[in-house]
Chain A
Amino acid sequence: MLEVANIREQCSWIHKDKATATEKAIILGRAAIAKVQLNAPLTAGESPVVKRALVIGGGIAGIQTALDIAEAGFDVDIVEKQPTIGGKMAQIDKTFPTLDCAACILTPKMVECSQNEKVHIYAYSEVEEVKGFVGNFTVKIKKKARYVDENKCTGCGDCTTKCPMKNVPNEFNLGLDTRRAVYIPFAQAVPKVATIDPNYCNMLKNGKCGLCAKVCGAGAIDYKQKDQYIEEQYGAIVVATGYNPIKLDKFEEFGYSLSKDVVTSLELERLMNAAGPTGGTLLRPSDGKHPHTIVFVQCVGSRDTSGCGKPYCSKICCMYTAKHAMLIREKYPDTEVYVFYIDVRTPGKNFDEFYRRAVEQYGVHYIKGMVGKVAPRANGKIMVQASDLLMDEQLHIEADLVVLAAAIEPDKSARPLATMLTASMDTNDFFTEAHPKLRPVESPTAGIFLSGVCQGPKDIPETVSQASAAAAKVIGLLVKDKLTTNPCVAHCNELMCNGCSSCERVCPYGAITYSDKEFRMPDRTTQLRRVASVNPAVCQGCGACTVACPSGAMDLNGFSNSQIMAEVDAICQK
């Protein structure tokens, strides 16, 4: 039996007064002796592992994690709420610091996912319910109705050209152009099947039309399709829910809602993309003319403690703004490009060289200072008022296009998901890692792993490395046949349990369940009673249940109620 009286960290290191510290050390020793006398042997339990992983989110993080897990020979499912996997990276035009085309490096990975027989993609689906524990999760997945049979649809796109509902904002191009009510988000979508948008489809709304069903050669259209629910078992779950740029309606000074020519950086990606609304020619959204003066504003809502934005640094904006500025100067050398920054942060391999190239080789005007006001003029120009902090002067720039590097925030689906997974989050809704340095891809909740921006802002290279790291952790879990569980877990004395649910309500890990059990009473009758039982694979030994239990039926192995009372007695003893 072992007990440790920690007189180093808990006593000698923290007290200056030697005499009282010595007294405290003696008391700590006394408490440990009192406890050790009541120690009982601890034995670890075992629980089985389901050899299948779930990845929530099908962006580059989820894709990479899934591919790496599949590579090790385990089945893996991706749940993606959009009709196609790909995530934000599919919308990005070029990637820093190498300037290779995002789609060119992403889409082969998407195809690999669809072709790998170990990977199963649930696109247009959401996680509804998570039960269970590490090695043994049961997840209910809602497969939303596409109104198109995925198995029959060949992705020919006939329906998407014939649909008469033409003015549906195209979310893939961030509303910069339109799509039909039946659509395939982009040419390389995976799975490449059409989806009917029930908010716009006339057939689904009013029962009139049915044109897509007529033109579909495969007979894949099914207006009567319903949401499907699938229940599947998993040994590990990876969260890769990603991010979105924040809404900019609180930042009136930047005039985002006043002018079409004030755009976010992600919108600029689409405006510069060959598959985007302008076919890759950079044109102003308002009048389709070439912009000649472009102003970039960094840190819009990032590092913002005013309450409008986010207190953290979004990390990727400095680099993608440098990328945008460089690409524009390369393609349109007659364009003046200004970048307003608080400071430029370029930690990463070849990142600072990249930024220096934008300034030195491409002649982008980097100005330290924030933009105070963006005001659209009647003549189509946009007045930008800003301060140059290094020159200590006010600037007035007549711009054609203003690009706002909006802060990024975790996807809105992350918080309800965290509740389902009992995984912890920080105040900004980023998932917290088990240890910020030494366990960065694991959630504190056993069996839950983190991949990509859902854990904190990061760029593509970092996301991919974290995705692979999360996969490695998942593989490490799935190769085990059985898990050894923590022996210091709670247990219930069923004879004393009232079945009141107090413990179930305070348990942060969902480790306590109730069932009706038959008990033999002293008078030889049997009685059915509701009693608690603790799942030792889920219990983390926090002890919350032991103090919530009114009858003292709950007790913690290794830290029993009687041991704690004995320690208290030993401390109070004179």
Chain B
Amino acid sequence: MQGMMIARAKELLQDGTVNRVLGWQAGEFAYDITPAVFETAEELDAGFVYNAFCGNNLSKYLIKETKKDGKVLVFLKPCDTYSFNQLLTEHRFDREKVYAIGIPCEGKTSGEMLKAKGVSGITGIDEDGDSITVHTVYGDQGFNRSDVLEERCLTCKSKKHVAYDELIGEDGEVLDSHRFDMVAKLEAMTPDERFAFWRSQLSKCIRCNACRNVCPACSCEKCVFDNPESGIAQKAAADSFEENMFQIIRAFHVAGRCTDCGECSRA
């Protein structure tokens, strides 16, 4: 897949359809993938990766990339295309300046998931259907994909792309994802139980703002949490409940605009 994507990206750069490619590259570690922009065939060969670690939703980066001159090529997994459309309805980027290629996704894993399974010294990853091979400095280790999937991928809502200019590979179907099972459980709780549940969940928040920064729905020019005039800006919390309010306010801000891409849970 990675080879096909690089080849197609080179073609599009070559014939002038696009000026830049938005993709992924490895960070300090092989599992430490970050979004990256490539401008030449050489850069693509040297850095472009697409593997089971490439969970990042690239659609949010289009806001910045389309501000530049020329056209940008972006690779979108099925769930990313939902955010792509949402950003489009909010006029956050210019569709004319984007060439979108839909790519298949069988579900992503992460360094954390593998480390929890006792893997260390990761140098690379390969996938083949349901099996995943992790290369480490201590040799290869095989896994069932379903055992190491990220939480958000366990309830994957769709393998179908809702926006693209072309597809690499086959398009899938919208899945029966059971993603509302947890909602049903929440609704079945008594108000006290629910309150306790949320207090416990929200107490995990250290207010690092990573969820906001990665969220495609959180793309405001100036976030209310960075705006002292909003009255809810970042400041030392007076008590633990005030800290919890961050998540509650954010939930209201993205309500109706969240496409359930799960980036926040990954961050």
Contact of B95 with A by CB under 8 A = no
Does B222 lie within 8 Å of A502, measured CB to CB?
no
Stretch of B24-32, B203-211, B226-234 with 4 or more beta carbons under 8 angstroms from chain A: B226-234
Contact of A187 with B by CB under 8 A = no
- Cα A165 to Cα B231 in complex, Å, equals 76
With known contacts A550-B253, A551-B220, A552-B224, A498–B92 Cβ distance under 8 A: yes
Within the complex, what minimum Cβ distance (angstroms) separates A144 from chain B? 36
Contact of A530 with B by CB under 8 A = yes
With known contacts A496-B227, A550-B257, A562-B229, A501–B91 Cβ distance under 8 A: yes
Within the complex, what minimum Cβ distance (angstroms) separates A40 from chain B? 13
Contact of B192 with A by CB under 8 A = no
Residues of A within 8 A of B224 (CB): 551-552
Does A550 lie within 8 Å of B220, measured CB to CB?
yes
Interface residues of A in 540-557 (CB under 8 A from B): 550-553
Residue in contact with B231 in the complex, picked from A495, A527, A530, A562, CB distance below 8 Å: A562
Within the complex, what minimum Cβ distance (angstroms) separates A530 from chain B? 5
Closest to A521 in B: B67
Closest to A502 in B: B90
- Cα A550 to Cα B230 in complex, Å, equals 12
- Cα A553 to Cα B257 in complex, Å, equals 17
Does B91 lie within 8 Å of A500, measured CB to CB?
yes
- Cα A502 to Cα B90 in complex, Å, equals 8
Does A551 lie within 8 Å of B221, measured CB to CB?
yes
Interface residues of B in 86-140 (CB under 8 A from A): 89-92
Residues of A within 8 A of B220 (CB): 496, 498, 550-551
Does A496 lie within 8 Å of B91, measured CB to CB?
no
Does A498 lie within 8 Å of B67, measured CB to CB?
no
Contact of A499 with B by CB under 8 A = yes
Residues of B within 8 A of A499 (CB): 90-92
Residues of A within 8 A of B89 (CB): 501
Within the complex, what minimum Cβ distance (angstroms) separates B85 from chain A? 13
- Cα A500 to Cα B218 in complex, Å, equals 12
- Cα A551 to Cα B217 in complex, Å, equals 11
Residues of B within 8 A of A308 (CB): none
Contact of A371 with B by CB under 8 A = no
Chain A positions 533 through 574: 1 when the CB is less than 8 Å from some CB of chain B, otherwise 0: 000000000000000001111000000011001000000000
Interface residues of A in 502-541 (CB under 8 A from B): 502, 514, 527, 529-530
Does B92 lie within 8 Å of A500, measured CB to CB?
yes
Residues of A within 8 A of B40 (CB): none
The 6 closest A-B pairs by CB, nearest first: A500-B90, A551-B220, A496-B222, A499-B91, A565-B231, A552-B224
Point out residues on B near A: beta carbons under 8 Å.
67, 89-92, 219-224, 227, 229-231, 253, 257
